[in-house]
Amino acid sequence: MMLCGASSSQGFIPLAPPSALSSRPTKPHKSMKPCGACQVRQCGRQCKRYMPSKEETAESNQKIFTYCPAIRKSTSSGFEGVVYNSFEHYKSVVDKELKKN
């Protein structure tokens, strides 16, 4: 029994799957994408969420408050114009505002 004959002078050419033939879309590097919360490039998605207790937010329409340490500002409505020293400072300002209402 002879497997290789004289007529088979071509070597084995493997076929690539159809997905390998099409070019894949390129994605930007993750650090170049703007953050979903603060829209700042190279933020590193460091935004922190503050969710006060249900009792504190009972009178408020807003339940989740977002703070970005990269720009030291809030991305939540009503708190965006102020530059905060830290996340703790931001939480205290949110708590005072919720107690007012």
Q: Which tens digits make up the pLDDT trace of 59-88?
A: 888 888 888 888 888 888 888 788 889 989
Overall residue count recorded for the chain in this entry = 101
Domain ranges of the chain: 47-101
Q: Which tens digits make up the pLDDT trace of 22-55?
A: 566 666 555 566 676 677 776 767 788 888 888 8
40/33 Cα distance (integer angstroms): 8
Give residues with Cβ within 8 angstroms of 71, minimum separation 6.
Answer: 38, 40, 43
